[in-house]
Amino acid sequence: MKFLDQAKVYIRAGDGGAGSISFRREKYIEFGGPDGGNGGRGGDVVAECVDGLNTLIDYRYQQHFKAQKGGHGMGKDRTGADGQDSVLRVPVGTQIFEEDNETLIADFTEVGQRVTLLHGGNGGFGNAYFKSSANQAPRRANPGQEAAEKWVWLRLKLIADAGLVGQPNAGKSTFLAAVSAAKPKIADYPFTTLHPNLGVVQIGGRDFVLADIPGLIEGASEGVGIGDRFLGHVERCGVLVHLVDGTQDNVAHAYRTVRDELGYYKETLAEKPELVVLNKADAIPEDELEGKRQALRKESGSDVFTISGVSGAGVDAVLYAVTGILDSEKRAAAEIERAAETWKP
């Protein structure tokens, strides 16, 4: 299945049905009077978060969604049928924006969430509605209310606990394949990863979801390479695992380049907890490895993990560090929730 994380779609609610002009015509009933029914309500356009989807690929082949119109009213005081809703089924992590691609309408984080994007038009009144003592035979009825329409953007942000970031060929896909059952494409040329990959990591009786996104290069925020749009998939992560290719001459510069691009994309992303990992240690002489590790520690201001994604050396230490950060964040969130419950204004 192809991966698609952004789509623009046109939505239109259903028009209301028209009211009916009708008079009762039955034998032996004199002056039957008006009996025109009201029109039915038009269908809504609804977005629903469902299980079993992990891409917006369906919206590449269908971009127009229109709810059904309400049925017209009929004689004998019969009300028209309501129109059927049009339902947009989206995966967990989908956000829906207005046409400006900035105004957020809905953010789906759990299966089962539903949001009405557009309401259907009301049905028109039939002539029976207008009957009064002063006008016992009205010959008027309302047309149905015209429904609203607009374009919206669907944007998918994967729900992952931890995210892999780094430059192209830093070994992110190799790392993901080594620690999970995911099978991302691995090759020795830049930008092998063209779309995010997810894997479930199990370590120490725990498991968490790890996301691998395409590599970042200098100028990605300005569209260089394949840009930085895929950074949206690690916005929800609790911790970033920053992989640096240890075979490069200047590992500090490589680290700073990625950090700068994270900040250009969104400040909150650059402020997330980070684990700095020097990868491909098995391809570097011991004395050179230590020098690069010290340079990276000085640049990042934090401890540096040294690993080899191919041999697996040092990988478990990184995974245990990830679970430690995730656990501390959960405890902090639980404490805040308890404090909010016990606090009384």
Helix (H, G, I), strand (E, B) or coil at 229: helix
Question: pTM for this structure?
Answer: 0.74
Fold held by 1-156: Spo0b-associated Gtp-binding Protein; Chain: A, (2.70.210)
pLDDT of residue 48: 96
Q: Are 127 and 84 in contact (CB under 8 A)?
A: no
What does the domain layout of the chain look like in residue ranges?
A: 1-156, 162-341
Tokens (6 digits) for 270: 């650059």
268 labelled ligand-binding:
no
162-341: CATH topology: Rossmann fold (3.40.50)
Alpha-carbon span 62 to 26, nearest angstrom: 50
Q: What's the pLDDT at 225?
A: 67
194 is an annotated ligand-binding site residue: yes
Give dist(CA 337, CA 331) in Å, integer. 10
Asked whether residue 282 is marked as a ligand-binding residue, the answer is: yes
* Helix ranges, the chain (H): 58-61, 172-179, 251-265, 267-270, 286-300, 315-342
Partnered with residue 106 across adjacent β-strands are 96
pLDDT tens for each residue of 246-264: 888 898 999 999 999 888 8
pLDDT in tens, 304-318: 999 888 888 889 999
Longest dimension (CA), the chain: 110
Is 191 annotated for ligand binding?
yes
- Does 318 belong to an annotated binding site? no
Name the stretches of the chain with pLDDT < 50: 1
Query: Is 309 annotated to bind ligand?
Result: yes
CB of 215 closer than 8 Å to CB of 190: yes
Residue 9: its pLDDT value, please? Answer: 96
Residue 260 burial class via C-beta count within 10 angstroms: exposed 0-12, middle 13-18, buried 19 and up: middle
Query: For 234-262, what is the HEC assignment?
Result: HCCCCEEEEEEECCCCCHHHHHHHHHHHH
pLDDT at residue 145 in the model = 94
236's tokens? 């929800």
Do residues 277 and 305 make contact, with C-beta atoms less than 8 angstroms apart?
A: yes
247 exposed, middle or buried (CB, 10 Å; 0-12, 13-18, 19+)? middle
212 is in an annotated binding site: yes
249 labeled binding residue: no
Determine if residue 173 is labeled as part of a ligand binding site.
Answer: yes
Smallest CA-to-CA distance from 277 within 344, 184, 204, 210 is with: 210
Residue 311, marked binder: no
Question: Is 223 labelled as part of a ligand binding site?
Answer: no
Give whole-number Cα distances, 264 to 59, 175, 235, 279, in Å: 29, 26, 13, 25
Q: Determine contact, residues 154/90, Cβ cutoff 8 Å.
A: yes
pLDDT of residue 338: 77
